Amino acid sequence: MAQAAATPASGKVVIRNVGLMLSGDIDQPILQADTIVIDDGLITAVGKEADCDISQPNVVIDARATCVCPGLIDSHVHPVFGDWTPRQNQLGWIDSTMNGGVTTMISAGEVHLPGRPKDIVGLKALAITAQRAFDAFRPGGVKVLAGAPVLEKGMVEQDFEDLAKSGVKLLGEVGLGSVKAGEEAHRMVAWARKHGIQSTIHTGGPSIPGSGLIDKDVVLEADADIIGHINGGHTALPLAHVCELCEKSTRGIEIVHNGNERIAIEAARAAIALKCPHRIILGTDGPAGSGVQPLGILRMIALLSSLGGVPAEQAFCFATGNTARMRNLNCGLMEPGRAADFVFMDRAQHTAGRTLLESVQLGDIPGVGMVMIDGIVRCGRSRNTPPATEIPVVL
Ligand SMILES: [Zn+2]
């Protein structure tokens, strides 16, 4: 079920015969390249084989003309500990999600922990413990960036300084705790930002009994770095308010699987109409009441491409390079110096699409043939996607 804490070094890895190289960069989503060279988990070259130093590799992978894309990033998850979630009493959900092409997950708060502490010392201790635990334990090799405290009334600037010094880099969704007023949230978000902690705000109706509505005025006043699930988690704000958020805020526009699908499409359209597609990032908001969706990010890409009219190669950028840039991650883009985290995909067997990108634009999800994290193969043919027509082989 799970693997390895420490990452063993990959050595030199050469990936050749790539049929379609997706870059993760929304300004240039497709690269004219067929080869990737990796050294100890980092990309050292991307280009045509004749232009790359492919000598003396430890591992060679023949991509067999399939697509290689930066590993998908789920911008919004709620992990607890290990590869277990109490939300739907499920084991192995992170490893299962890796089989859906996700190589990095970002916690929006460990809110499902039974008996989650709400006093300030307790919430800080939980955040630090979660950060440490997931840093040292990576189910399926997935990088789970966790330790995201939920804001509660009474927190002072010193608390944010303490958290930052202890290695906490994220806030849990603002609005899930007792801090729900715009002015109070703004003050704490600013303290977090001052100390290098990134913030996300819950947007829309309550997710579970006991949580509350966060409306557009609170989202704008709080000014968190990410407008979390702008399409609701699950219940969305009215469309006009979602458009107003896209227009008046410059922050990240996060669209999630466990939200309102119609508003997901409309939010993407609004961001594109405003000429800021680089602000769109994708999450699942899982595990959730609707379950755990290991293919949630791929399904969002297919949804936005097929019904939202977004070219498939751009939709992949929403879940890779956009998220990496917005959240300062060393992955998500196909360029030297970045982490060698990749998903190998091909058109699913018997899709009506003639190519991978066409199949996604028709609403089918791709078949995953291999997932690599830090230059190490973490799975071959996915146990969760429909079977890929062709899969890469390790030579
Ligand atoms: Zn939420």
What pLDDT, in 10s, does the model give residues 52-97?
999 999 999 999 999 999 999 999 999 999 999 999 999 999 999 9
Whether residues 65 and 141 fall in one domain: no
Whether residues 162 and 264 fall in one domain: yes
Residue 287: asked if its preceding bond is cis (omega within 30°), the reply is yes
Whether residues 382 and 248 fall in one domain: no
Question: Ligand 1: distance of its center to the CA of 287 in Å?
Answer: 11
The string of DSSP letters for 303-333 reads HHHHTT---HHHHHHHTTHHHHHHTT-S-SS
Q: Does 95 reside within a domain?
A: yes
What crossing angle do the helices spanning 296-306 and 261-273 adopt, rounded to 10°? Answer: 60
Whether residues 241 and 259 fall in one domain: yes
The alpha-carbon radius of gyration of the chain (Å, integer) is 20
How far, in whole angstroms, is CA 205 from its chain's centroid? 22
The pLDDT, as a whole number, for residue 7 is: 58
Question: Ligand 1: distance of its center to the CA of 297 in Å?
Answer: 17
Question: Ligand 1: distance of its center to the CA of 44 in Å?
Answer: 38
At 212, is the pLDDT very low, low, confident or very high (cuts 50, 70, 90)? confident
Average of per-residue pLDDT across 206-227: 92
Question: Ligand 1: distance of its center to the CA of 180 in Å?
Answer: 12
Q: Does 214 reside within a domain?
A: yes
The string of DSSP letters for 122-169 reads HHHHHHHHHHHHHHH--GGG-EEE---PPP-TT--HHHHHHHHHTT--
What pLDDT, in 10s, does the model give residues 158-184?
999 999 999 999 999 999 999 999 999
Question: Ligand 1: distance of its center to the CA of 212 in Å?
Answer: 10
What's the whole-model pTM score? 0.97
Distances (CA, A) of 284 to 59, 72, 235, 325: 33, 12, 14, 19
The alpha-helical segments, DSSP class H, found in the chain are: 93-98, 120-136, 157-165, 182-194, 216-222, 239-248, 261-273, 296-306, 312-318, 321-326, 356-361
Whether residues 152 and 257 fall in one domain: yes
Average of per-residue pLDDT across 265-275: 97
The pLDDT, as a whole number, for residue 4 is: 47
The pLDDT, as a whole number, for residue 2 is: 44
Average of per-residue pLDDT across 239-255: 97
Tokens 């819950």 sit on residue: 202
Question: Ligand 1: distance of its center to the CA of 283 in Å?
Answer: 11
The pLDDT, as a whole number, for residue 227 is: 98
Question: Ligand 1: distance of its center to the CA of 219 in Å?
Answer: 12
Backbone φ, ψ for residue 364 (5° rounding): -85, 145
- Alpha-carbon gap, residue 69 to 313, rounded angstroms: 10
Question: Ligand 1: distance of its center to the CA of 126 in Å?
Answer: 19
Instruction: Flag whether pLDDT at 3 surpasses 70.
Output: no
Q: What is the mean pLDDT of the chain?
A: 96
Question: Ligand 1: distance of its center to the CA of 195 in Å?
Answer: 23
Question: Ligand 1: distance of its center to the CA of 148 in Å?
Answer: 13
Whether residues 92 and 24 fall in one domain: no
Q: Write out the residue range of the structural domain in which residue 342 sits.
A: 12-69+333-394
Residues ≥6 apart with Cβ < 8 Å to 313: 22, 29, 30, 357
At 9, is the pLDDT very low, low, confident or very high (cuts 50, 70, 90)? confident
What pLDDT, in 10s, does the model give residues 115-126?
999 999 999 999
Question: Ligand 1: distance of its center to the CA of 202 in Å?
Answer: 4
> How many domains is the chain built from?
2
Whether residues 89 and 197 fall in one domain: yes
What pLDDT, in 10s, does the model give residues 315-353?
999 999 999 999 999 999 999 999 999 999 999 999 999
- Alpha-carbon gap, residue 212 to 287, rounded angstroms: 19
Task: Tell how strand 393-394 and strand 30-31 pair up.
Answer: unpaired
Backbone φ, ψ for residue 339 (5° rounding): -60, 140
- Tokens encoding 175: 């609005």
Question: Ligand 1: distance of its center to the CA of 233 in Å?
Answer: 5
Whether residues 86 and 206 fall in one domain: yes
Average of per-residue pLDDT across 228-233: 96
Whether residues 256 and 339 fall in one domain: no
Q: What is the CATH number of the domain that holds 362?
A: 2.30.40.10
The pLDDT, as a whole number, for residue 5 is: 47
